[in-house]
Amino acid sequence: MSKISRIEMHHVCVPMSTPFYPSWIPGYPQTQVRFNLIRLYTEDGRMGEAAGNAFGEEREGLGKLIGPFLLGMDDEDIEGARKRLREASYLGWRNAWIENAFWDMKGKRLGKPVYKLLQTEEHTVERAPVYASTGELRSIERRRDYLDLIRSMGIKAVKIRVHDPAMKNDLDILKQVRAEVGEDFVIGVDANQGWPVSLIKPSPTWDLEYATAFGKGCEELSLAWIEEPLDMHDWAGMAELRCRVKVPIAGGELHGAWHEIQPLFEHGCLDKYQPDVTFSGYSVALRVMAECRTRSLAYSPHTWTNGIGLVENLHAFAAWEKSGYLEYPFEPPGWIPEFRDGIIPPIEVNPDGTVDVPQEPGLGLRIDERRLRRFGRCFYVATPLRVALGTIKEKGLKTALEIKKAREG
């Protein structure tokens, strides 16, 4: 056991050579991959890392918020770290992703990859099968080359986005893709209705009747799942939709705490649960897996954040003992491993349609320090001395001593 003695936070911005137009933000051209990286250092010299999604530089004050909560903590106290992060969320940002850095340290301390720490029965998983996850809305004319490419890569499953503003032709692209790839290829669909964003253009909003009609059409096409067909808080609607259509319903990607996901189980909303550990942390993912086992439901994490987020979720997927596919975000020419993965070696697909599961202790991130310096900026450093001096400067010596006394008490 060792205490957290230093915290570093970096904002990373990796420019893309070609704009990427995410279907979940209609009309928005994304030109960078952005995320925040945290590094926790212990007194005995170990380091734990994790990354959290970022739209811009909106979390510049994050270090000042979480620094006093985490400095001095025992690195083995994952439950305590999660509790403190939750307490910090009452005062500012939600940051469950930081919990994963403690798992990284635990794996390094025990000499095991994180996925083995998450398994119910420890065993080695060398590779994980993936499905190609599209991110843009494209016609079949612009999608054919992509379908040819992923099949040449050995990938045997794909997820297509639908988001027709007029809510008339969402099934058309799926019919055309099915005709293109044949009956044996696995096709899923993402409607992105869970958390609509109308930053540039209005985002279409489905109701239960439209989702039902869409689901019936998906039945005829033998689709493998429908992702986020309704608002993520419409528990009654999702439960009813699940009764009306035979295609499995998936969701839960943005839920960050167990109390947010629990109602989905209680109402019988989903067939497949997809919490992303960069939003929920591994502790919640473990509870979701356990509940899925109890109820004979499927689990496959959302991974569309950045390369480090993909690795973190790869460990969660490798801990799940049942079959399935891991989401592999891939939408050339913009969203490709070079830009998506940014400061770590690109995560490439093997000829058999799988990706390698890290076997190094911890998360096995292998961050390229040169690229981190090129694309990142350290915006916060905390040590006990720095925090103490900052408290004296902000609150005065008398109050700072009172805080110190209260902490020690």
Same-domain pairing of 218 and 296: yes
Model pTM score: 0.95
Question: How far apart, in whole angstroms, are the C-alpha atoms of residue 245 and residue 258?
Answer: 27
Q: Apex CA 220: angle with CA 217 and CA 221, to 5°?
A: 90
Check pLDDT > 80 for residue 373: yes
Question: How far apart, in whole angstroms, are the C-alpha atoms of residue 173 and residue 189?
Answer: 10
Per-position b or e across 331-355, b if 16+ CB within 10 A of its CB:
beebbbbebbbbbbeebebeeebbb
Task: Provide the pairing of β-strand 30-42 with 4-20.
Answer: antiparallel
Same-domain pairing of 102 and 223: no
Q: Where are the alpha helices (DSSP H) in 56-139?
A: 62-70, 78-91, 99-110, 114-118
pLDDT, mean of residues 54-67: 91
Same-domain pairing of 138 and 278: yes
Mean pLDDT of the chain: 95
Same-domain pairing of 331 and 199: yes
Burial of residue 398 (number of CB atoms within 10 Å: 0-12, 13-18, 19+): exposed
Nearest alpha-carbon partner for 184 in 211, 224, 238: 224
**Cβ proximity of 301 and 275 under 8 Å:** yes
Domain boundary among 356, 384, 399: 356
Nearest alpha-carbon partner for 97 in 86, 87, 113: 86
Domain of 56: which CATH number?
3.30.390.10
Same-domain pairing of 303 and 382: no
Question: How far apart, in whole angstroms, are the C-alpha atoms of residue 174 and residue 249?
Answer: 16
Q: Structurally, how many domains does the chain consist of?
A: 2
Check pLDDT > 90 for residue 50: yes
Question: How far apart, in whole angstroms, are the C-alpha atoms of residue 390 and residue 394?
Answer: 6
pLDDT at 90: 86
Q: Tokens at residue 159, please?
A: 């997820």
Question: How far apart, in whole angstroms, are the C-alpha atoms of residue 233 and residue 372?
Answer: 38
Nearest alpha-carbon partner for 136 in 234, 30, 207, 231: 30
Check pLDDT > 90 for residue 142: yes
Q: Tokens at residue 251, please?
A: 């969701």
pLDDT-derived band of residue 92, with 50, 70 and 90 as boundaries? confident
Domain boundary among 312, 337, 356: 356
> Roughly what angle, to the nearest 10 degrees, separates helices 208-220 and 170-181?
20
Check pLDDT > 90 for residue 244: yes
Question: How far apart, in whole angstroms, are the C-alpha atoms of residue 20 and residue 6?
Answer: 36
Same-domain pairing of 393 and 304: no
Same-domain pairing of 177 and 320: yes
pLDDT at 99: 97
Same-domain pairing of 77 and 125: no
Dihedral (CA of 85, 87, 91, 93) sign: positive
Task: Provide the pairing of β-strand 326-329 with 127-133.
Answer: parallel
Same-domain pairing of 198 and 86: no
Residues 6+ apart with CB under 8 A from 279: 53, 96, 97, 253, 254, 255, 256
Same-domain pairing of 231 and 182: yes
- The residue segments making up the domain with residue 172 are 117-356
Same-domain pairing of 373 and 351: no
Check pLDDT > 80 for residue 409: no
Q: How do residues 96-123 score in pLDDT, each as one tens digit?
A: 999 999 999 999 999 999 999 999 999 9
Domain of 227: which CATH number?
3.20.20.120
The DSSP code sequence of 22-48 is: -TTSTT--EEEEEEEEEEEEETTS-EE
Question: How far apart, in whole angstroms, are the C-alpha atoms of residue 244 and residue 239?
Answer: 9
Same-domain pairing of 339 and 269: yes
The amino acid that residue 264 corresponds to is L
